[in-house]
């Protein structure tokens, strides 16, 4: 029983160690490189949400291109 308790402690310690590395990496990625957004409504029809359907589309927003001023004609830009 004592050995199983020590093994559980080892796994919990490894989980928290990975957690405290993964969270800052994920937050930095979502802030600097790309994030996922949901597009709803008729504002982007017919490109997104075609046919007036009620379902929403999911898009990947590329922060990297905007930071490097690599936006071209025809690109979709999202503002908050």
Pull the structure tokens for residue 18. Answer: 């990975």
CA–CA dist 63, 75 (Å, integer): 13
Per-chain mean pLDDT for the chain: 79
Cα–Cα distance for residue pair 62/32, rounded to 1 Å: 9
**pTM, two decimal places:** 0.54
Mean pLDDT of 32-50: 79
Percent of the chain residues past pLDDT 90, beyond the cut? 0
- Give the mean pLDDT of 22-48: 82
pLDDT of residue 37: 82
SS3 27: helix
Phi, psi of 47 (to 5 degrees): -65, -50
Q: Where are the domains of the chain?
A: 29-40+56-71
């Amino acid at each position: 029983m004592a050995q199983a308790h020590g093994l559980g402690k080892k796994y919990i310690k490894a989980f928290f160690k990975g957690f405290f590395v993964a969270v800052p990496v994920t937050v930095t990625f979502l802030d600097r490189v790309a994030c996922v957004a949901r597009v709803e409504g008729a504002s982007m029809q017919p490109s997104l949400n075609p046919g007036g359907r009620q379902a929403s589309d999911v898009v990947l927003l590329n922060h990297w291109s905007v930071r490097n001023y690599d936006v071209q004609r025809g690109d979709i830009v999202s503002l908050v």
